[in-house]
Structure 1
Amino acid sequence: MAQQYKHILVPIDGSHEAELAFKKAVAVTQRNGADAELHLLHVVDTRAFQNISSFDTTMVEQVTETAKKTLDKYAAEAKEAGVKCEYSIEYGAPKSIIAQDVPKEQGTDLIMIGATGLNAVERLLIGSVTEYVTRAAICDVLVVRTDLENKPVTPADGSKESK
């Protein structure tokens, strides 16, 4: 019997990698039948605001509003493709929220996440959310590295993809 995923989670951060994951997730959700659902998630990393001395809630509200516009656009696109889709915006540490908290709450059975956009030094210093999710998630994880035709994607910095 073929594995069917019914509750697919896609973290959305506005990056090209997240967009690729979203597009593939729509296709996977379509293939998994009428009861399959797509859940989009954006996590506002509130730790990023802790070091700002003039912190006020308008900064978080602006980030939230931008995320909401992006998620509205993606949700509309998914619904146009005939996929059940909802989204949420969470606040806190993205790694644990994506890997454990939301999957527990939503009954997620597959996380489709874009490959990291960080370079080697950034991964060493702050760690990749994708890398953490692949290690700590409570369900299956699919890291999206290719486009819809399964062709390698050119990195955002324009350098050639290594083979």
Structure 2
Amino acid sequence: MYKHILVAIDGSETSEHAFDAALQLAHESGAQLQPLYVVDNPLMAYDAFGYDPTIPRDAFVEEGQRLMADALARMKHENVAGTPRMVDVAPIGEDISERIRITANEFNADLLVLGTHGRRGFKRLFLGSVAERVVRSACCPVLLVPGRQTQTTLVESAKPGHADVAAAMVETPR
């Protein structure tokens, strides 16, 4: 049974589906849930005339606060324990996936839940995948939840004893 579930949220439809799955798992297993919003510090271009790096960062923080308040309200409604958390990516040498992994270790997460867009081929190569990088470096099981509705129940496949894999990815036909 899971005791600490960390779910990454970013305001996308995909992360909403991941949060729904994590909330249901936490409710059913009595686990503590930590929704995590990662503030990605924008590239600092100090030599650009009129560039103020605090403007995009402040927008990220404002969005994160809104998402955390919504997550906390939904957790209280479902009687799920836990506290949403907002963290910043370190300015040098760290990306969102690394910050998720570090935070999961600090939280002693025994399950990570992430949304995935399920991109393939050139799009995945060009855009990269935070979820893929988290899966490759995670020290606990990772449940990848697609943004689109699936015909199977993701929560059932993620229950302890139902899957002995480090990552589960469900995709539907396009």
The answer, yes or no, to whether TM exceeds 0.5 is yes
Pairwise CA distance, 1:133: 1.1
Pairwise CA distance, 1:56: 3.0
Tell me how far apart the structure 1 counterparts of residues 135 and 106 of structure 2 sit (CA, whole Å). 18
Aligned match for 2:37, one of 16, 20, 42: 42
Pairwise CA distance, 1:18: 0.5
Pairwise CA distance, 1:139: 1.0
Aligned match for 1:79, one of 69, 76, 79: 76
* Residue-by-residue CA offset, 1:21-70 (whole Å, 9 max, x unaligned): 1011111001112xx10001111111x33347313323312210111111
Q: What corresponds to 1:21 in structure 2?
A: 18
Tell me how far apart the structure 2 counterparts of residues 55 and 125 of structure 1 sit (CA, whole Å). 28
Distance 1:137 1:61, change over 3 A: same
Aligned match for 1:150, one of 146, 149, 152: 152
- Aligned residue for 2:113, secondary structure, equals strand
- TM-score scaled by structure 1? 0.80
Pairwise CA distance, 1:104: 1.4
- Does the 8 Å CA contact 2:114/2:145 hold for their aligned counterparts? yes
- Aligned residue for 2:109, secondary structure, equals coil
Structure 1: segments with no counterpart, 5+ residues: 153-160
Q: Quick check: 48-57 or 66-75, which moved more?
A: 48-57
Distance 1:149 1:6, change over 3 A: farther
Structure 2: segments with no counterpart, 5+ residues: 90-94, 155-171
- TM-score scaled by structure 2? 0.75
Q: What corresponds to 2:98 in structure 1?
A: 96
Query: Which aligned runs of 4 or more in structure 1 are off by greater than 6 angstroms?
Result: none
Tell me how far apart the structure 1 counterparts of residues 67 and 122 of structure 2 sit (CA, whole Å). 29
Matched, 1:135 2:136: yes
Tell me how far apart the structure 1 counterparts of residues 73 and 114 of structure 2 sit (CA, whole Å). 19
- Does the 8 Å CA contact 1:10/1:22 hold for their aligned counterparts? yes
Task: Provide the aligned C-alpha RMSD in A.
Answer: 2.3
Give the counterpart letter for 2:44 in structure 1.
Answer: Q
Tell me how far apart the structure 2 counterparts of residues 27 and 67 of structure 1 sit (CA, whole Å). 22
